[in-house]
Amino acid sequence: MTRNVVLICLDTVRKDYFEEYAPRLQEMASVSFEQCRAASAWSTPSHASMLTGELPHRHGIHTHNRDFTCLERSETFLADIPDHTALGASANVYASSTFGFDTVFDHYSDIAPHRRFPAGMDMEKFIQDRDEEGIQRYLEFLREAIRHDHTLESLGNGVLFKANDVFRRAPVPKLLDDGASIVSSEGMSMVDSTEGPFFLFTNFMDAHGPVHHVFGYDSDLHSAPNDWTSFAFDDWEINTGGVSAEHEDDLRNHRELYGAAIDYLDRKVASFVEEIRGKTDRETTFVVTADHGENLAFPEDEELFGHTSSLTESLLHVPCYLINPPAGYETAETEYVSHLELGDLIAGVANEETPDVFRERVPAELIGIGVGGAPRDPEEHRYWDRMLRCVYDGETKYVWDSLGGSREYEIDHDRPCWQRRIGEDVTVPSWARDFFDVEISEYKELARASETDTERDVDATVERRLEELGYR
């Protein structure tokens, strides 16, 4: 009998912080792939690699083309589980219908943190589309809500949207979380309405920046003021100028709130897992991972912040845990597993198998800068937008870029997210370059020359959400 499979993507959660702040999910899991590596360093290419099992230069969805509509279901692992209904609920705007990510799914739900009842009116879009001010805007909202097919949900969205706006501006914790509650409820609703085996994809964005204190976070885990957010400092000031004494308080607040967000996700997602297990008769396996991690300006992050323009261990070393898998794996598997093998893992588990997904060497790739705010100077921008590739071999990692740079790093399998540079301008072995079909500088120029304009067409609501997430 086939199994249900739920893929839980904890967006932007690095392996070491997961180990420290997510004890419940670790306790629930019976298998951990200790050396799991993401295929890329930010959402769009990483999600495409998880779906296709291909590197970004092969699937073609990356910095210079963020549109998933070119992807066919037959090109994804969903083609290997044709009897499973493919469901999805995501709070990540890049993994949403806006960019065509829903195309390969049977049923998909875009989650906006401000829209607590997805069936009701989208308050942010309502406000963007209206010219009325003051009482006239409220009256028009009431009229629209009453006419809407889901009046109560629309009214609820309005009340919570306004309350969250008030709390956001006051020196108190933010009222609403960043989507975890809605992703859980939408995922559960989809499961309830589906007959037969299903595959469910979920993306939880609560650990993604900007971070801030939220009602529900454990205040014992951080000392950040209630009105502090990571908008208090400029990521690129750190990336271009390095860490200075004036950054210490902000970095401490960010790191602590990042940990508190993961603790919050641990509680919410553990409850979500238990709820699904309690409502499904068919065996269900949960795969808990992250699309990538996060640089937090530690020395081993090379004092970089965010998830752009690098292939550090903090970005690529991600958690990967199995809850209720078929028998066959060791409790702690210590060989390399890449997200490029994630589809084979899911398809195998769905069919009561434990496929061999382990590799001696694994690659990763970043085609260019993924977030906004980069330096505008053409030469500086060229550096930060360079293409990067890396390959792991044992406890060595080779990294090279489209500008001709190359480095060798020592990593430690017992120290998640740690690396130490041991060589500069090194010779990259031919076997490492053989993982890639096109020479790096050649592909970068091809990708830049064929860049699409898909993001120009997003509406004001999506534009604002991208700005909030630091992608503008």
Q: How many Å apart are CA 40 and CA 389, to the nearest integer?
A: 9
pTM for the structure as a whole: 0.90
Mean pLDDT of the chain: 89
Q: Is the pLDDT of residue 139 over 70?
A: no
pLDDT digits (tens, 9 = 90+) for 3-56: 999 999 999 999 999 999 999 999 999 999 999 999 999 999 999 999 999 999
pLDDT at res. 229: 86
pLDDT in tens, 149-165: 777 776 766 666 666 66
Mean of the pLDDT values across residues 142-147? 75
Q: Where in the chain is the domain with CATH 3.40.720.10?
A: 4-113+177-360
DSSP strands (E only) in 18-167: 31-37, 85-90, 107-110
Torsion region of 44: left, alpha or beta (phi above 0 gives left; psi -120 to 50 gives alpha): alpha
Strand bridging mode 284-289 / 320-323? antiparallel
The CATH class of 4-113+177-360 is: alpha beta
Helix intervals (H) in 327-424: 342-350, 378-384
pLDDT band of 455, cuts 50, 70, 90: very low
pLDDT tens-place string over residues 388-416: 999 999 999 999 999 999 999 999 999 99
